[in-house]
Amino acid sequence: MSNPTFRAYIVEEIGKNVFVRNVRSWTISDLPDGEVLVNVHYSSLNYKDALSATGNRGVTKNFPHTPGVDAAGVVEESSDDRFSIGEEVIVHGYDLGCNTSGGFGEYIRVPAQWVVKLPEGLSLRESMVYGTAGYTAACSVLKLQEFGVKPDMGEILVTGATGGVGSIAVCILAKAGYHVVASTGKTDQAEFLLNLGAKEVISREDSKDESGRPLLKGRWAGVVDAVGGEILATAIKSTKPQGVVTCCGNVASADLPVNVYPFILRGVSLVGIDSQNSPMNLRRKIWDRISSEWKLDQLEQLTTEISLEELDSNIELILQGKQKGRVLVNLAK
């Protein structure tokens, strides 16, 4: 391949901590080194992308930069014999969209060890409705199951339930037969969550205890938390003996104001979910589950499809906590 131009969503620093975002031409030579060049068909918008797009140095250190921690497309070039030209693939996590040009451009070039072959039963478009958020939700559900949490053991709480991770977690858990209670700050979206499979919807206020008590009445057999802070602490204190809490987000706070009592008196397990650097064998396992037993019927209910030019307004929504479900970025739109 020569050095053609392509469209990309570029974040540039024009003054100290002053950033502008535009869709403009980029070239293949602007991309980093890597064994696999992918023509990106779809990406998705995640909270980390919004942080990168607004110049958060904890996510992206150098600009100009193309965010997008998710990408699904077709192999254009490969120097690694595990991948053939024309093969459909998924790339997510690692350094993609953080300090490596990401999926908000029509091409990415990445190390071969970042690339997952698209499993049978899943289209490129469907894979990006899941994206990193769906992958993280699936990892969380898998951990609950690996720790022995079964549907007949009681209710499962999902926090931040209208968000990307939360909404897909609700769907997967409901499909797997669990009784799901969805917690959200958007109580006007209760019908949306009930249609996804939640049995009950509770407010953010009802999910947060500020009494200072070290333990609360045990209610949850398991928890999928995507929020952190006081809501996570309350969930831990409200988990039944031998229950399991997964943790994957900090949008409310990175601090965890909780004591040791749930862990030493009830045997509660707190399990961290790191989807960014998860090993390739886990990635393949999760994507195989997503393409088969965890493939959802509600994907279109979850999805808002946008173009690169529509990213700005949707980034503002996700930063304000007003986004619902998954935002699919169609690079051909």
pLDDT digits 0-9 by tens, 232-251: 999 999 999 999 999 999 98
- Check which CATH number belongs to the domain holding 326 and give it: 3.90.180.10
- Check which CATH number belongs to the domain holding 179 and give it: 3.40.50.720
Categorize the per-residue pLDDT at 154 as very low, low, confident or very high, splitting at 50, 70 and 90: very high
What does the pLDDT look like over 89-100, one tens digit per residue?
Answer: 999 999 999 999
Looking at the fold, whether 112 and 138 belong to one and the same domain comes out as no
Looking at the fold, whether 140 and 232 belong to one and the same domain comes out as yes
Looking at the fold, whether 43 and 149 belong to one and the same domain comes out as no
Question: What is the domain range of residue 87?
Answer: 5-118+298-330
Where a domain ends, among 257, 272, 287? 272
Residue with tokens 């970042």: 114
| pLDDT of 57 | 94
Average pLDDT, the chain: 96
3-state secondary structure of 50: helix
Looking at the fold, whether 173 and 238 belong to one and the same domain comes out as yes
CA distances from 71 to 102, 118, 184, 319, 324 (A): 7, 11, 28, 21, 20
| pLDDT of 212 | 86
pTM, two decimals, is 0.95
280 in a structural domain: no
| pLDDT of 321 | 84
| pLDDT of 259 | 95
For residue 1, is pLDDT > 80? no
Pure H helices in the chain:
47-53, 124-146, 164-175, 190-196, 229-237, 261-265, 280-290, 299-302, 311-319
Categorize the per-residue pLDDT at 46 as very low, low, confident or very high, splitting at 50, 70 and 90: very high
282 in a structural domain: no
Helix 164-175 × helix 124-146 angle, to 10°:
70
Looking at the fold, whether 150 and 256 belong to one and the same domain comes out as yes
Categorize the per-residue pLDDT at 64 as very low, low, confident or very high, splitting at 50, 70 and 90: very high
Lowest mean pLDDT among 116-120, 208-212, 303-307, 329-333: 208-212
Looking at the fold, whether 152 and 242 belong to one and the same domain comes out as yes
Looking at the fold, whether 97 and 178 belong to one and the same domain comes out as no
Other Cβ atoms less than 10 A from the Cβ of 281: the count is 8
Looking at the fold, whether 145 and 246 belong to one and the same domain comes out as yes
Q: Report how many domains make up the chain.
A: 2
Looking at the fold, whether 22 and 103 belong to one and the same domain comes out as yes
Looking at the fold, whether 151 and 243 belong to one and the same domain comes out as yes
Categorize the per-residue pLDDT at 2 as very low, low, confident or very high, splitting at 50, 70 and 90: low
281 in a structural domain: no
End-to-end CA distance of the chain: 24
137 in a structural domain: yes
238 in a structural domain: yes
127 in a structural domain: no
Looking at the fold, whether 138 and 257 belong to one and the same domain comes out as yes
What does the pLDDT look like over 185-226, one tens digit per residue?
Answer: 998 999 999 999 999 999 999 999 988 899 999 999 999 999
293 in a structural domain: no
CA distances from 265 to 174, 210, 229 (A): 30, 21, 21
Looking at the fold, whether 198 and 235 belong to one and the same domain comes out as yes
125 in a structural domain: no
Q: Where are the beta strands (DSSP E) in the chain?
A: 5-15, 18-27, 36-45, 70-78, 88-92, 107-110, 115-117, 155-158, 179-184, 200-203, 220-225, 239-247, 269-272, 303-306, 326-330
